[in-house]
Structure formats: structure tokens, C-alpha cells
């Protein structure tokens, strides 16, 4: 298969795969089939899921859009990530990270809510102001 055929195959998927979208984690704008890797969509499988399609871009370049190919593609349910998020979360347990992040944000919000009270409390020693 020559470069032209591969490029045409990739192009045939435009619309099924959005030409442009946002990274599902950080919301950065990303493009399908962009030649610069930092600008392009990185197809991600979350949480230890396995897929028949190991190398999505390579697969897309070798399989023109067809009813059967679309079915296979849709079963993979790839996430759309930017390069940075893809690399940051590669082989990491995203559910654990999401749970920890959620807990951290809640703790921080809670701490900020109680900060004035705690700060004032520290100023007092048995009801007396510490000099």
C-alpha cells in the first residue's frame, strides 16, 4: 500500500472521527491526522481495556472506511486525548487517579472553607491572643 492510498484511507474516516475536537481530559483543541504529534488526536484505551486495534493510526491508514471497518472501530470506543494527557496517563490506572484527584479537590475546597476559622483559632491560645 503506497503513501497516497494510506492518506486516502485516513481521509475517508474524517467525519466518523471528528476533524477537530477537544482533549477529553484537559480540553485542549486537537486535530485528527495532524502531522505534528502535539496537535493530533491520540486514541486511547482507558482502564486496562483491550482492543483488536493495537495501533489506531496505522490501522486507519490500512483500512478504508467501510461498514465492517466502522463496526470494528466503534467497538474499541477510543478516547480522544492530546499528546500530553496521553503520555501522562499511559499505562496508569486512570480510575485511581480520578478518585485521588476528586478527593484532593474536595479536601482543598473543604480546607479553604475552614481556613479562616483555623487561622483565627491558631491566633488564640486558651482564649488569649499569641503575640
Q: Which of residues 25-44 bind Zn ion (CB under 5 A)?
A: 25-26, 28
Least Cβ distance, residue 15 to Zn ion (angstroms): 23
User: Using CB under 5 A, which of 10, 60, 69, 85 touches Zn ion?
Assistant: 85
* Contact call for residues 65 and 16 (beta carbons, < 8 A): yes
Would you say 69 or 82 has its CB closer to Zn ion?
A: 82
In terms of Cα–Cα distance, which of 109, 84, 88 is closest to 97?
Answer: 88
Write b or e for each residue in 13-25: b if 16 or more Cβ atoms lie within 10 A of its Cβ, otherwise e.
Answer: beeebeeeeebeb
Would you say 66 or 95 has its CB closer to Zn ion?
A: 95
The span of 24-32, 49-57, 59-67, 108-116 binding Zn ion (CB under 5 A) equals 24-32
The kind and range of the H/E element at 51 are: none
The span of 12-20, 43-51, 72-80, 85-93 binding Zn ion (CB under 5 A) equals 85-93
Would you say 92 or 114 has its CB closer to Zn ion?
A: 92
Q: Count the helices and strands in the chain (H runs, E runs).
A: 5, 6
Size of the site for Zn ion (CB under 5 A): 6
Please state, in angstroms and as integers, the Cα–Cα distance from residue 116 to each residue in 25, 31, 113, 123, following that order: 33, 45, 7, 11
Binding site for Zn ion (CB under 5 A): 23, 25-26, 28, 82, 85
Amino acid at each position: 500500500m503506497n503513501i497516497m492510498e494510506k492518506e486516502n484511507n485516513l481521509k475517508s474516516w474524517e467525519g466518523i472521527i471528528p476533524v477537530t475536537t477537544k482533549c477529553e481530559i484537559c480540553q485542549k483543541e486537537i486535530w485528527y491526522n495532524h502531522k505534528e504529534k502535539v496537535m493530533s488526536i491520540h486514541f486511547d484505551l482507558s482502564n486496562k481495556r483491550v482492543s483488536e486495534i493495537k495501533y489506531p493510526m496505522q490501522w486507519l491508514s490500512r483500512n478504508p472506511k467501510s461498514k465492517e471497518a466502522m463496526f470494528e472501530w466503534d467497538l474499541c470506543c477510543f478516547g480522544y486525548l492530546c499528546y500530553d494527557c496521553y503520555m501522562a496517563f499511559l499505562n496508569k490506572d486512570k480510575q485511581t487517579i480520578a478518585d485521588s484527584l476528586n478527593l484532593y479537590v474536595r479536601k482543598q475546597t473543604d480546607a479553604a472553607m475552614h481556613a479562616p476559622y483555623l487561622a483565627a483559632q491558631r491566633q488564640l491560645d486558651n482564649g488569649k491572643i499569641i503575640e
